[in-house]
Amino acid sequence: MFDYSKQIFKVPQESPNYAADSAYVIAAIHNILDMAKKTGKNKIIITTNLRCGLPMENINKIAGPVVESWAFELFSSIAADTNNTFDLIYAEAQERLCMSDVILQFKKRDVSSHAITANVDVKATAEDIPNSGLSPNITSFSRIRTAYVSDPDYIFIILSLKHKVYSMLNQSTSFIDSTMEIVGHNAYDLKYISDTDISYNPALGTGQIQVRDIHYVSLVQRTTWEFCQLLDKKYLASSRRTFQQWRALAIQNGWVK
């Protein structure tokens, strides 16, 4: 019988500056979104030929990709300005099946002047719809577990964007014009989300890591290796998973020697 504690793990060792880099990225993202709100760049104008406007009861079903596109355009427009005050030097949208939606690179203005890469997963929630996007799937257990072994300094940010939609009649067209406004935001480093706020859904593939309530998240400081062990614990605690399944994944993805 196999024993988890007796496995010979590949233990990822993060760099000493990981926590500072993570905090730097999150602060920069908050500053960018605060700027967008203050300058009125937090609005998405949607014009259709629907006389009754957008279907508000289902707006959360179409808002996700729209909000993701808005976020990428905001980040890319800033990165294009080489003199921007947020130290953002690069933004790249990811394909649909990638773990993150946007990759951002920042260059710190300190003695080291080193670049920091962050993988950002954008999650949209509707302010006016209870429980909209409350407990989203974040990423595949196997893929994120492997990412942290491959790169102990892997920064995975969950960016929660809250929106509301309002409409008004366009007198010249007689159609309803809608505005989707980003009214709130928060950003978390997945690695620092507390044990009680992370859950595991075994339904898809190797299972999905979820945040129980994206609006109320508590954080704890932990190492990359501690987070890998937490992910393993969530997987093994599921009644639909066995240790043999975990070990097969560990061998396949190089988590053990």
| Res 129: pLDDT | 61
* C-alpha angle 204-209-214 in degrees, rounded to nearest 5: 125
All structural domains of the chain, each given as residue ranges with its CATH number in brackets, are 16-252 (3.40.600)
d(CA 53, CA 68): 21
165, pLDDT greater than 90: no
% of the chain at pLDDT higher than 70: 95
| Res 64: pLDDT | 84
Highest mean pLDDT (candidates 110-124, 171-185, 237-251): 237-251
Q: CA nearest 128: which of 183, 176, 53?
A: 183
Beta carbons of 41 and 175 less than 8 angstroms apart: no
| Res 239: pLDDT | 84
| Res 133: pLDDT | 52
